[in-house]
Structure 1
Amino acid sequence: MGARLRGFFDIRSGEALPVSLTFLYIAVVVAAFLLAKPIRNALFLRQYGPYALAYVYAAVPLALSVFVPIYTRVAARLGQRAVTVWTLMFFASNVLLFWWLFRRHPFVLLPGVFYVWVNCFGIIAPVQAWSFANSQFDTRQAKRLFGVIGAGASFGAILGGLLARVLVRPVGDAINLLLVLAALILAAAVVVSIANAKIRRRGLARRGKRHRHPFGETLDEIRRTPYLRLTASMVFLVAIATQWTGFQLSVVADQRFGGSAEALTRFFGTFNFILGIVSLTVQLTLTASVLRRYGVALAILLLPSALGFGTAAILLLPVFWPVIMTNALDQGLRFSVDKATYELLYLPIAPGARARIKNAIDIVLNRAGDATGGVLLGLTTRGFAGLPGLNVGLRGTAAINLVLLTGWFAIAWRLRREYVRTIHETIRRHRLDAERHSRRVLDRSAVSALEQKLAADDPAAVRYALSIIEQEPGGIWRRPLHRLLHHDDPEIRRRALSILSASGDQTISPVVAEMLRDPDLAVRTEALLFLSQQVGIDPVARIQELGEFPDFSIRAGIAAFLASPGRARNLDAARVILEQMIAASGEAGARDRDEAARVLSLLPEVFPDLLVKLLDDEDPRIARVAVKALSRAGAAGVPLLQERLLEEDPALRYRIIAALNKLRRLHPEVQLDRKLIELLLAAEIGGHYRSHQVLGAVGETLPSGDPVMVAMRQSMEHELERIFRLMSLLFPEAQLQDAYVGLRSANPVIRANALEFLDNVLEPHLRQLVVPLLDPQTSLRERIIIADRLIGA
C-alpha cells in the first residue's frame, strides 16, 4: 500500500520521511490556525461587531514590529531549528494564558487582544512551516511534491473546521476550545522536534559564524532587485485584497448569526471544514498536475482571476451567497494551488538569503499591507481613529477591491516572466563561474608565468606556452611573440608567425620578408603565406627570386595572393588553384588540403562552398578548420551548412550544428530553415530515446564500467549536446546553453534551477519530450517506457 501511495504521488526514494513530516507539520499548524479563527471571530464579533475589524487589522503590524526583532535576534543566536520549536511552545503557553484570562479575569479589550494574537500566530507559524518545507526540497522536487505537501494545509483546514464545529458544544463553549488549540500547537512542536532529529535539512543548518543582516539592508535588497520588488508588491496587494474579502464574510456572518458566539463559531467552523475538503480535493488532484504541466506562469494567475470573478458578482449582487462564493474561491485556492505556487517563488533566491528575505516579505511587508488595508477599510466604511468614513457597504468595498485585484493580476503577469529571468540568472552565473574555472583564465600571475615560459631556454616549455596562447590569443602576447620569430627552434618560429598572422599583425612584415630566406622549409612557407595574404606581395616573383619552395606552399601562396583585395585580385584563378589542392587525395595530398584549409580560413566569405567540401576531409583537424571558418562566413555560409545538416556521420553533424550556433551568435539576423532544424531535432530526440532502449537492454548483461557501457554513455552525452545546440538554433533568445551547463553542475540546486528554467521556456510539446531525458529523478525504466510509446519497442 505504501509503495502504491508513493507511486501515485510520485514520492521517490529518500523522500517519504521528509514529505510525511512536512505534511504533518503544515497540517497541524493550519488546523490550529483555523480552529483559532472561528474562536477569534466569534468572540470579537459578539463584542464589537464587524466594522471594528479595521482597528485590529491595523494593530497586527504594530504587534509584529515588537515581536519580529526579538524573534530575529533569538533565531540568529539559537538557529532556525531550535527557535521554531521554542516559538511553538511560546504560542501554546500564550493560549493557556488567554484561556485563564477569559475564564477568570475578562476585560473589555481582551477579545481584541486575542484577535491580534491569532493573526500574529497565523502569520508566523505558517511562515515557519513553509520555510521548513523550502529547506527540504530543491526547485524540481518542490514542483513535484508541494502539491502533496500543500494538501497538509487542506487537511489541516478540514481538521480545524471539524474541531470548531463538533467540539464547541461538548467542551462547553468557544473559550474552552482554547485548550484544544493549545494541544494542537504543542503537537506541532513535537513534530518539528522529531524532524530536527531525523532529517538533515538543506540550507538551515550552518557551520561557522552566522552573519547578521540588518533589516534595513534586507529591505534595500528587496527594493533594488526587480524580482523581489515585484514579489513584495504582489504580497502587499494580496494582503489588502484578501483582507477585504474576509471582512465581507464577517459582515454577512454577523448579519445572519450576530449575538451568538456559539452560532458564529459553528458557522465559521463549518465553512472552514467544507472548504478544507474542497481545497484538499483540489490539492491532491490538480495542484501537482497544474504545476508540472503549466508551471508558475499560469498557476500564479488563478487566484486573482477567481477573486476578480467573485468580487464582480458581489458588485452586481451584494448579498450573502456571492460573498460566500468569493470567500470559498479564496480559501479553496489559497490553501492549495496558490500556496504551493507562492512558495515556489522563493526557490530561485539564494539559500543563504532566502529565509531573511522571506521573513521580511511574508511577516513585515505582508503585515504592512494589512495595516494599510485596515486603515483604508475604516476610512471607506465607518471611519478610523476619529476620522469620518465614506460609509460604503458591500458593493462599495467590492468596487474598490476589484481595482486592487486588477493591480494584483498585473503584477503577477509581470512576475511570471521575472521568475523565469531570475532562474536563468542563477544558472547563467553558474555558467560564467564554470567557464572562468574551466578556461585558462589569464590573470596577472598566469600572464607572468606564461611570459617566463615564452622566454625559457627549454624549447618544450616555449611550445607549451604557445599551445595555450593559440587557444587564448590576444594583443598582450605580441611583444614576446615578436622575439620568438628569431628563436633557434624552427617549429617555435613557425608557430609564433602563425599566431601573429591570424591576429593580422602587419608590423612584422619586414621581419617576415627576411624569414623567406629561413633555412627551414616550413618557416619559409608560413612567411610566404603571410606576405601573400597580409601584405599582398606577388608570391610568384618572390619564389623565382628565392628558389626552393614545395609545390603546396607555392600554390597556397599564389591562391592567397590572387584572392586578396587589390589590383591583382583574380578570384577565378584562385578558385582553380584551391580546387586542385582540395582534390589532392591520400596521405601525400594531406599537406595540400591543409594549406588550402588555412588559406580558406583567412577568407571564409570568399569561397564558402570550397570550405563545405573540406567538411568531409578524412583528417579531423582539416574538417575542424573548415567548420570554424564557415561559422565566420556570414549569411553566405548558412545555406551551405544547412544542406549538410542531415549528414549520417554524427561527428560531422555535430561540427555543422556547432558552426551554425556560432554563426547565429555572430550574425543574429540570419534566417534559418526552422522546418529542417525541427526535423533534425525530432530525429535526434528519437535517437536519444532509442539509445536509452539499447542502454536498458545492454545494461542487463554488462556492468556499468564495461568499455561498451562507457562508450554508449559518452555517445549519449554527444546526442544531448546536439539536441541542446539544435534547440538553441530554434530559440536563440532563450539562451539554452546556460541551462545545458547548469544541468552538468555538481550543485543539485543549480541542476534543479536549470530544469525549472527549461520547463518554463520550452514549448509544451518539446518540454514533454526533453525534460524527462534530463531530470535525474526520471529513471531509466521510465525513459524506456516513453521511448516505447514514442518510437516503438
Structure 2
Amino acid sequence: MRDHPYLTRLSGLVLVSTVAVTLADYVFKSTVARNIPAAGLGTFFATFYMVLNVLALGAQLVLMGWILRVLGLHRALWVLPTLVFLGSAGVAFGGGLLAALLLKSADGALRPSLHRTTTELLFLPISDGLRARAKPLIDVVGQRGGQALASVFILGELTLHRGDYALAGVAALLCVVWIAWALELKPHYLELFRAALRQGSMRDRADLPDLDLGSLETLIAALSSRDDAEVRGAIDLLAAEGRARLIPALILYHPSRPVVLRALELFETSGRSDFVPVADRLLDHADPELRAAALRARSAAMPDEALLRKGLDDPSPVVRATALVGLVAGGWLPKSTGLDELLRTAEAQAALARAIRRQPSPAFEDALLALAEAPSPEVQALAAEAMGAVKSPRFFPALLSMLGTREARRAARTAFLEHGEDALRFLDEALGDWSLPHEIRRHLPRTISRFAPAPAAAVLLRHLLPEPAGMVRFRMIRGLGRIAADHPDVRLDAAVLNEATARTLEASFRLMHWRSVLEHGAAEEPHRATRGHELLTTLLRDKEVDAVERLFRLLGLQYRGEDLRQIHRGLRNTNPKVRSGSRELLENLLDPPLREAVLALVDEAPAELRLAQAMAYYRAPLLDYESVLVALLEQSSESVQSLAAYHVGELGLTSLKGRLEDIELRRTGFFVSRVIERALRLLAGPPEGLVHAR
C-alpha cells in the first residue's frame, strides 16, 4: 500500500471514521446510563433502537439515493461526520441526553446506509486485482484497528477520570479530521478515476452505481483528453450509465478514428439527431469505414434516399454495402438489387454482412444464406452475426454447418441463442441425428447448454443414454455440469444419471479388463510385447482415465453439494495423505454397491482384485489375447481399431484375417483403411520367424 497513496489515504479515512463512531457510541451509552434510571434502561434501549432501525431503513430506501444525486459522492462523505460532530460537540458543551440522542441517531441511521455506500464507492476506480488484495487489509486495519484505538481512548478516560465530555470532545475533533481527510481524498480519487478510464479497467462492469456529479464532471472532462483510451473509456462508461446524450456531437471532430467510430455507433441508436450536420461532413472523409459509419448513423436519425443512392457510387465496397442495405431496408430498392456485385469478393461480402447486422431486415435472408456458403471463415462468422440480428428458421441448417468451423463457431452459437426456443428444438433434433458429421455433433452439447437451463438440461439428458459417440456423451456431461454449477435450482433426472453412472462404470472396468488381458498375455509370451502392444495398452489406459473423469463428473451431478472435482484431483495427487483423505470422503459419501465399485476403480491394487469388487456393474468374462483383439477391432473408435489392426498384422494373426477383411468392406475412415490394408499385406506373406499368438 506504500506504493499507492490513494489506498493509504483511504485506509486512514476508514480508521479515523471508525474511531469517531466508536467513541460516539460509548458517549451515547454512558450519557443514557447517567440520565435514565437503571430500571428503565431496558425499555429505553428497546424503544430507541426500534425507532433507530426504522430510521435506518428509511434512510436506506429514501435518503441515500437522493443525497448521492444532490450532493455527489464527496460531499455525501461529509454528512455523517458533520452530524456526529454536532452531537459530540453538544455533549461536550453540556447538551446532555438530547445531544447524545442526536449523536446516536445520526450514527445509527446513516452509518449502515450512506456511510457504508460512500466508502464502497471510493473503491470503484481501483483495479479489480488491487481491490481484491487491498480491501480486506483496509477493513482489518481501518475497522478493527479503529475499534482497538477507540478502546485505548476509553480506557484512558476511565483511568484518568476525565468524564464523557473529554471523549465527546475527542470524537468532535476526529470528525473535523474526518471531513478534512475526505476533502483531501477527492483529487486523488478523480485522478485514479481518470487512470482507470485510460486503462479501460472500468468498462463492462455490471455493478457500477449511479454516477454522482463529480464523476460526471470527470467523464465529460475526459472527453477532451489527449489520451484516446481515456476518451473511449469515458464514452463507454457514459453509454453504460445511460448518459450517451451527454456526449457532445462535436466529438465527431476528434482526430482519433476509433473514438469517432464508437461515437457514431452510439449516436446511431441514441434517437438523437443533433449530430447529423457534423456527420454529413464525414461523408467525404478519406476513411471508408468512417464514411460508412457516418452514412449509417445519419440514416438512422434522418433517412435520406438521395444520400443513400449517392453512396452506391462510392469506390469502397464498405460504403456501397451500407448504402445498399439502407435503401433496401428503407423500401427504396427491391431486395435483390445490387447484391450480385457485393457477393463477388471477400471484402465486399464482409462489408455486406456487417451492414446487414447493423441494419437487419428479413429482405436479406437470401443474401445471408449465400454469404454463409462463402469460402472465407471470417465472412461466415460475420454472416452468422447478421443471422442472429435478422432471425429466421431458414438460417438453422447454415448455422449448424458453421459449428464445425472454428472461426465461425462462436458467432453461430450466439446466433442460435438469439433465435430462442425454435433454435433449441432444431438443435434437439440435430443431436438425435447420428448421421451428422462428428466435427459438428461434438459441438452441439455446449451450444445447447447455453440456452435456458431447464429446457437445455432436459434436451441433454434425453440424449445422454442413447448417444453412441463417447466424445459427444462426454460433452453432454460437461454441458450438464455447467448448467448445474450456474443454476443450482435446476433439477436433473436422477434415473438417467444413475443409469449413465452404471454404464460408465461398466465401460471403465471393461477397459481395465481388456488391458489386463493384453498385459498378462505379453508377460506370458514376450514376443507379443511389440510397439503396437505398447501403444494399444497405453491407449486403453488413457481411455480408463477419461472414463474415470466422466464418472466423477456424473457423480458431481448427483451429489451437487459435494466438490467431486476436488476429490477426483485429490485421488490423483502424489501426496499419500491427500489421496487417503479423498478416499475417505468417497467412502462416507457413496452407498454400496456404488461405493465399492468407485473405490475399486481408483484403487492401485492388481486388476483382478479390482474387477472382483466391480461385479455389481461388470462381470468379467474369460478372455484370451485374440478375443480382446477381436473386441477392440469392433470398437467405434478409429484409434482403437487402427492400433488393434496394426498389432494383428505385426503378430501375424492369420486367424483374424477374415475380421480385417470384413472391417475393410465397411465404410471406415481413411486412416483405418490404410492400417488394415497394411495388416492384410503382412498377413498375406508373413516374414520368416513370425509366430502366431494365441
TM-score category (smaller protein): 0.3 to 0.5
TM-score, normalisation: structure 2: 0.36
Relative to the length of structure 1, the TM-score reads: 0.32
Flag the structure with more relative contact order, 1 or 2, with Cα contacts below 8 A and sequence separation at least 6. 1
